Structure 1
């Protein structure tokens, strides 16, 4: 069953295996996976097609095609299963900035829409969050077509405007498309190429484009990107799928995961490791010099150049002034919650605007482990709702979020939630912002919580939050938070930044406060409810559930 590996594919495999190219662990695992597929599957390589495709590179302003480009294009576009379908129709290519991503997209488009693919109407749609990202590969192709030494020959095969390229033989069209999914249901793409998928917070645009696939023979998808700062979105899903394929032995289901990044942050200090993130670097001395300059600036002041690690080395680095903690620490909260029935907890409330978001957090503290049950409410009349790209509808279906189709979120909704929670858990104290208490005071009093008479409501001030910042930081660093699978809380935490109070520049956490990274599209309410509940953490002793509290005539 073993199939001969094409020399262009084999060359890259051997470069990685021999150490001729300094490659990351993901690349070593990938070439091993590809070898195994050729050894165990009935594959067919179209060698003639590969030569035609790679030969197209001479019309582009490349000094040469890099080995990784030959490897990716050959596997993605020219290797077929026994039934004639592409073996790897989906490509996920995460590679460092400057590697030649847009040029690779342009070349791949030229190959697939041209006569050597020979599939009528094999349209190439390039999707991105902004016009420049969507149109850059199109412009690269047009620039190649308009190069004087190429034009007379290529105009026999293609025609073009400033907006698109059309194949005269196959009538395939290459276009760049921006992030609004409206009006794209009629697409008949042969391949959809998503450029810079790290910016995507949800699947709205991806779903619209990919559901149009299958109308043409040999449908394909390509995801090209650097790493980014948006977490818990499509990029992280692809990275997790890559991990399952390369490290856990799951079937790849047609996905070719080409990941280039440093294996650890410490490797950045040796330039010899940089090709792990950018395999084009050994062939681009000018780019190497530029990255050396950026490294020197980053090393002097990492906070001023956080994109260096994220974009050049594909390892996101949390800026102490920007995010609460590393994403890995936030992701580590996704562990199953135990049965907490009868346990003692504090309740934290964040209720900044009645016409926006609100959240309640139930916080359980057991030794070093902190368990949190968090729920949020979203006002559907919120003026910020169109700005929010997070998949809140999906979160609502999963029960993590309650949409409120009204002009505001009624305070009674939060109080009802706490009253129901008090039937299962012992809640001796509630904490909320000092300035929001008036909105909830009457409803809370009806279920037995009052700041003045019952003294079981704590009004949280900025100094209280500053005091609990180091506790929260320690819990993240030691990964002792357990939240269950709560994407709303993870999202809100990732939207929050630490800001120093005053002019102190030391690492004294008593001088920090929490703030929103972006005021209108990145909400923090769920995390701030957790913060409020932790302000009173020392007041919740582990006691047995004492039965249902007496709420008098309160009805819910």
Structure 2
């Protein structure tokens, strides 16, 4: 079905694009009126080429009527938003179908994606679009996110100054907004694909697509397109922490189009990002990732504050570089702590005889390093007693530059002249510690428990009676924030123990899903982390430790 064009312009090729809503942004990019990334320069060149080589219609009357709705919204569209909106909603092929019916908007957090989505959704159901039952579905991974743009439109309709006027043309409630003239409606939907096969959408808007790990849920919504004229898809997002998912697929497709390697086939890629990671340190370059920044001074102030936190601790504040600057390659695994904070762990450990503690064990490879840590608490201060076993048969010993022999002489580790570190060596050590301290619980990796199960049960620790905690990755993610706090506040001490300092300095923070972190080795073979990971295991049970004023002194057991 051809579009009901409200102007009588004939389709034509255009060396000169005579539409200010399109050209304002293009000239800002081309003249340096705004800092723009390489992808924006390529997009502008691509759009100029399309208009110069294809017969297209710019529907000026439609633009004017759509732009008239801005007065009801608490914002005016910025130059980049007008550029995207008009190309998406008001430019048609000679046959009346939209030239760009699929749009990908990739901008930094705070640019105004939700407001833009709401404006597009509202315009699409009006009589200006003119297609009956042109339903708009706003989709996201969570109901809260999906409702954001919907609520923006809902709140505009509820405004006292607008209420009477809109009541004549629209009906609305908390789940749907309906145009009385077109019978089109806006609804919000989550990513649960069940019972969605009957959708007859005109447009589907996917908000924060970085959260989608695959196309399954998206496909459920988009397979309903095509039942109405002029089906459109809009993807809006910042970057995120899911790799090889929908976002990376859209980015790859966009880059191929902008590089001229692939025909756009109606796909408009609007990408804003830093060109190089080091540009994060130049506030003048930030608008490359957020084209709204020059117009929003309050947002700039907030971003400046977040930048200061990022500089202080890049790993923990990696959301800044990923979501504010769309530069995920710089969300790198980094050292778990600054060296000064690691050095602070050398504080003297007080006399702990008779104190309650929990034990963490790292038993990843029996023919390599094995470590155990006893963790104590005194109010907000934590103390650790550590021990390590090193298998002489470890294939990595030749790569390790650390002074292991010196650390053995200092009693920090013991070499095992065998093919592996036997489980009974660990439990024998634990028995010796139980003569000195009140060991409440043992924590060990869920997948390694079977290696120590019999020996631990032999000395009174079992997962069945919950005296053994089987540590899962989710437990580590939960406790990472606490560990970071202890390190930066210098509230953890394990005394003069260069082995534990080495372990800690070898450990990196690894970004995980949903803004969480786990731990990894900075270098896989020559830099060991076993002692630190035993400490992490123990920290998952720090809540089991009583406050110091609750401790009843226990005389050391002398045999």
TM-score normalised by length of structure 2 = 0.61
1:158 alignment partner in structure 2: 170
Query: Taking structure 1 as reference, are residues 160 and 17 closer, same or farther at Cα in structure 2, changes over 3 Å only?
Result: same
2:140 alignment partner in structure 1: 128
Residue 178 of structure 1: how far off its partner (Å): 0.6
Please give the per-residue CA displacement for 1:367-406, whole angstroms capped at 9, x wherever unaligned.
Answer: xxxxxxxxxxxxxxxxxxxxxxxxxxxxxxxxxxxxxxxx
Residue 22 of structure 1: how far off its partner (Å): 1.3
Query: Residue 31 of structure 2: which of 8, 12, 18 is its match?
Result: 18
Consecutive aligned runs of 4 or more in structure 1 exceeding 6 Å deviation: 460-463, 465-471, 499-510, 513-516, 521-524
Check conservation: 2:211, 2:242, Cα contact below 8 A: yes
State how many pairs are aligned. Answer: 377
Residue 128 of structure 1: how far off its partner (Å): 0.4
Check conservation: 1:469, 1:513, Cα contact below 8 A: no
5+ residue gaps, structure 2, are 1-11, 337-363, 368-389, 402-475, 488-492, 529-559
Residue 517 of structure 1: how far off its partner (Å): 4.5
1:87 alignment partner in structure 2: 99
Query: Taking structure 1 as reference, are residues 516 and 314 closer, same or farther at Cα in structure 2, changes over 3 Å only?
Result: closer
Residue 15 of structure 1: how far off its partner (Å): 1.0
Query: Taking structure 1 as reference, are residues 126 and 322 closer, same or farther at Cα in structure 2, changes over 3 Å only?
Result: farther
Residue 46 of structure 1: how far off its partner (Å): 0.8
Q: 2-side partners of 1:46 and 1:463: how far apart?
A: 76
1:46 alignment partner in structure 2: 59
Check conservation: 1:466, 1:512, Cα contact below 8 A: no
Check conservation: 2:139, 2:188, Cα contact below 8 A: yes
Check conservation: 1:322, 1:517, Cα contact below 8 A: no
Matched, 1:2 2:13: yes
Please give the per-residue CA displacement for 1:322-373, whole angstroms capped at 9, x wherever unaligned.
Answer: 99xxxxxxxxxxxxxxxxxxxxxxxxxxxxxxxxxxxxxxxxxxxxxxxxxx
Residue 320 of structure 1: how far off its partner (Å): 2.5
Aligned runs of 1:120-519 on 2, under 5 Å?
120-316=132-328, 317-320=330-333, 433-434=365-366, 511-512=506-507, 517=512
Q: 1-side partners of 2:509 and 2:277: how far apart?
A: 26
Query: Taking structure 1 as reference, are residues 468 and 176 closer, same or farther at Cα in structure 2, changes over 3 Å only?
Result: farther
Query: Taking structure 1 as reference, are residues 462 and 246 closer, same or farther at Cα in structure 2, changes over 3 Å only?
Result: farther
Matched, 1:37 2:77: no
Query: Taking structure 1 as reference, are residues 465 and 145 closer, same or farther at Cα in structure 2, changes over 3 Å only?
Result: farther
Check conservation: 2:322, 2:331, Cα contact below 8 A: no
Q: 1-side partners of 2:396 and 2:148: how far apart?
A: 46
Check conservation: 1:466, 1:511, Cα contact below 8 A: no
Query: Taking structure 1 as reference, are residues 291 and 158 closer, same or farther at Cα in structure 2, changes over 3 Å only?
Result: same
Residue 434 of structure 1: how far off its partner (Å): 4.1
TM-score normalised by length of structure 1 = 0.61
Q: Is the partner of 1:96 in helix, strand or coil?
A: coil
1:61 alignment partner in structure 2: 74
Q: 2-side partners of 1:161 and 1:282: how far apart?
A: 36
Check conservation: 1:114, 1:167, Cα contact below 8 A: yes
Residue 466 of structure 1: how far off its partner (Å): 8.4
Q: 2-side partners of 1:77 and 1:462: how far apart?
A: 70
Q: 2-side partners of 1:505 and 1:47: how far apart?
A: 69
Query: Taking structure 1 as reference, are residues 6 and 96 closer, same or farther at Cα in structure 2, changes over 3 Å only?
Result: same
Q: 1-side partners of 2:149 and 2:195: how far apart?
A: 22
Query: Taking structure 1 as reference, are residues 159 and 278 closer, same or farther at Cα in structure 2, changes over 3 Å only?
Result: same
Query: Taking structure 1 as reference, are residues 298 and 154 closer, same or farther at Cα in structure 2, changes over 3 Å only?
Result: same
Residue 247 of structure 1: how far off its partner (Å): 1.4
Check conservation: 1:466, 1:509, Cα contact below 8 A: no
Q: Is the partner of 2:286 in helix, strand or coil?
A: helix
Q: Is the partner of 2:105 in helix, strand or coil?
A: strand
Q: 1-side partners of 2:25 and 2:139: how far apart?
A: 29
Q: Is the partner of 1:304 in helix, strand or coil?
A: coil
Q: 2-side partners of 1:213 and 1:318: how far apart?
A: 36
Query: Residue 101 of structure 1: which of 90, 93, 113 is its match?
Result: 113
Check conservation: 1:192, 1:220, Cα contact below 8 A: yes
Residue 130 of structure 1: how far off its partner (Å): 0.3
Q: 2-side partners of 1:142 and 1:89: how far apart?
A: 25
Q: 2-side partners of 1:138 and 1:159: how far apart?
A: 14
Query: Taking structure 1 as reference, are residues 220 and 505 closer, same or farther at Cα in structure 2, changes over 3 Å only?
Result: farther
Q: 1-side partners of 2:105 and 2:92: how far apart?
A: 20
Q: 2-side partners of 1:510 and 1:461: how far apart?
A: 22
Q: Is the partner of 1:92 in helix, strand or coil?
A: strand
The two structures, once aligned, show a CA RMSD in angstroms of 3.9
- In terms of mean alpha carbon deviation, does 505-514 or 194-203 score higher? 505-514
Q: 1-side partners of 2:203 and 2:223: how far apart?
A: 12
Check conservation: 1:126, 1:192, Cα contact below 8 A: yes
1:110 alignment partner in structure 2: 122
5+ residue gaps, structure 1, are 324-431, 436-459, 472-495, 536-556
Q: Is the partner of 1:302 in helix, strand or coil?
A: coil
Q: Is the partner of 2:196 in helix, strand or coil?
A: coil
Residue 54 of structure 1: how far off its partner (Å): 1.7
Query: Taking structure 1 as reference, are residues 518 and 138 closer, same or farther at Cα in structure 2, changes over 3 Å only?
Result: closer
Check conservation: 1:96, 1:278, Cα contact below 8 A: yes
Residue 506 of structure 1: how far off its partner (Å): 7.1
Check conservation: 1:466, 1:513, Cα contact below 8 A: no
Please give the per-residue CA displacement for 1:184-224, whole angstroms capped at 9, x wherever unaligned.
Answer: 00000000000000000011111101111000000000000
Residue 509 of structure 1: how far off its partner (Å): 8.1
Check conservation: 2:335, 2:506, Cα contact below 8 A: no
Query: Taking structure 1 as reference, are residues 236 and 256 closer, same or farther at Cα in structure 2, changes over 3 Å only?
Result: same
